[in-house]
């Protein structure tokens, strides 16, 4: 191994005592490849197993916690106990290759395609459609919000019973948790909306519920992470200063990590800060002030990219598209072969890369999503 990249492959121990074998994590990515009934397919299990040998932790694609939270065609579910064997199949495949298995859990809210949810009725914090959408969601009642909070807890219990090492709460990318935090989608006047503090009620209640479930059903070293998006394009919308308030609250919640969702790791803020030239990562690390590990992600391709990212002070670096393009990324760094890392998808390599047909077709037919050779 090139000593320059030694830190990338150094172990990392969470405050709960769980040790990761290195600093490289597989980012959560939708793969469109589950069965219509929400169970995982063999193709999907093989895809994860192929990528679980080098990385220290695999964060799965999001699993919906209620039937009306299903956000994607070919998404797997964690919404009832019948899903536990399916969830276990995936956890076992990841862990057998030596990585920690973390189930990402979510509710799509107003982003759900109507054809995937009961009666075609999409729901959200308020009756505000997503930007560019003609689908107006129904505002959830207070009791329904409480039921969804409970559903996140139940999905966590299923993850525990299925043998996962942890869960990641998906509070990013415009889905229901973010919809409650955003002044664009949350126009409520009850305890779940209004001020910035009240818009944090739903995300923080989910954290509390999951912590209680873990305390009751899991070992003390079960991992709980939280993923968030730092900003929204909309006005009104989430600004960096809003996110600092949320991150500040989350950092004191006794979680195991925070995970910022970025397209570009070194991107800079749009608004809500004095200095727009400083990166979002730098601002977040200042706010966190060593209270909780931060996972960074976003267009990291080469070993040099990953080293530069880790050098900022994040604890872990997540690879998304790059780990699909080159599942042997970590092994190549470990063997001093980082020059052989592949950074563009090769169209004749689907079988070798073990990518399921639905995901492969989505990649090939979405120009600009992946760098393609």
Q: Which residues belong to the active site?
A: 175
CA dihedral for 167, 171, 172, 176, sign (positive or negative): positive
Q: 72: Cβ–Cβ under 8 A, 6 or more apart, which residues?
A: 30, 32, 62, 108, 113, 116
Nearest 5°: CA angle at 302, between 300 and 305? 55
Q: 311: Cβ–Cβ under 8 A, 6 or more apart, which residues?
A: none
Backbone angles phi, psi at 109, to 5 degrees: 55, -135
Report the distance separating Cα 206 and Cα 226, nearest Å. 10
CA dihedral for 63, 67, 73, 77, sign (positive or negative): positive
Nearest 5°: CA angle at 368, between 362 and 373? 85
For every residue of 47-95, DSSP letters joined together read: HHHHHTTTSSEEEEEEEESSGGG--STT--B-SSGGGHHHHHHHHHHHH
| Dihedral, 293, 236, 173, 85 alpha carbons, nearest 10 | 90
Structure tokens at 294: 């931060």
Torsion-angle region of 120 (φ positive above 0: left; ψ -120 to 50: alpha; else: beta): left
Report the distance separating Cα 38 and Cα 83, nearest Å. 8
**Core vs surface per residue 198-220: b (16+ CB within 10 A) or e:** bbbbbbbbbbebbbebbeeebee
């Amino acid at each position: 191994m090139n000593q320059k990249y030694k830190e990338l492959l150094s172990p990392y121990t969470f405050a709960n005592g769980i040790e990761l074998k290195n600093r490289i994590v597989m980012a959560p990515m939708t793969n469109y490849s589950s069965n219509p009934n929400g169970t995982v397919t063999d193709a999907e299990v093989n895809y994860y197993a192929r990528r679980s040998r080098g990385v220290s932790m695999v964060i799965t694609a999001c699993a919906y916690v209620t039937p009306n939270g299903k956000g994607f065609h070919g998404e797997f579910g964690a919404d009832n106990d019948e899903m536990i064997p399916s969830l276990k199949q995936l956890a076992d495949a990841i862990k057998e290759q030596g990585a920690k298995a973390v189930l990402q859990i979510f509710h799509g809210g107003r982003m759900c395609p109507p054809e995937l949810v009961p009666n075609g009725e999409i729901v959200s914090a308020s009756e505000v459609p997503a930007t560019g959408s003609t689908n107006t969601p129904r505002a959830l009642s207070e009791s329904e919000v409480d039921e969804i909070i409970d559903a996140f807890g139940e999905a966590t219990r299923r993850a525990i019973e299925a043998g996962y090492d942890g869960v990641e709460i998906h509070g990013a990318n415009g889905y229901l948790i973010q919809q409650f935090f955003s002044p664009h989608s949350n126009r409520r006047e009850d305890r779940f909306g209004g001020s910035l503090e009240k818009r944090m009620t739903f995300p923080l209640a989910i954290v509390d519920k999951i912590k209680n479930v873990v305390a009751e059903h899991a070992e003390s070293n079960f991992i709980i992470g939280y993923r968030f998006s730092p900003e929204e394009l909309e006005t009104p919308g989430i600004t960096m200063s809003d996110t600092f308030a949320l991150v500040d609250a989350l950092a004191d919640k006794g979680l195991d990590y925070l995970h910022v969702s970025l397209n570009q790791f070194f991107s800079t803020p749009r608004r809500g800060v004095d200095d727009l030239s400083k990166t979002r990562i730098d601002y977040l690390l200042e706010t966190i002030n060593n209270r909780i590990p931060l996972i960074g992600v976003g267009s990291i391709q080469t070993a040099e990219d990953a080293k530069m990212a880790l050098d900022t002070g994040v604890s872990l670096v997540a690879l998304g598209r790059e780990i699909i393009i080159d599942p042997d990324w970590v092994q190549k760094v470990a063997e001093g072969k980082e020059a052989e890392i592949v950074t563009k998808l090769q169209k004749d390599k689907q079988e070798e890369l073990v990518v399921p047909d639905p995901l492969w077709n989505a990649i090939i037919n979405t120009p600009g999503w992946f760098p393609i050779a």
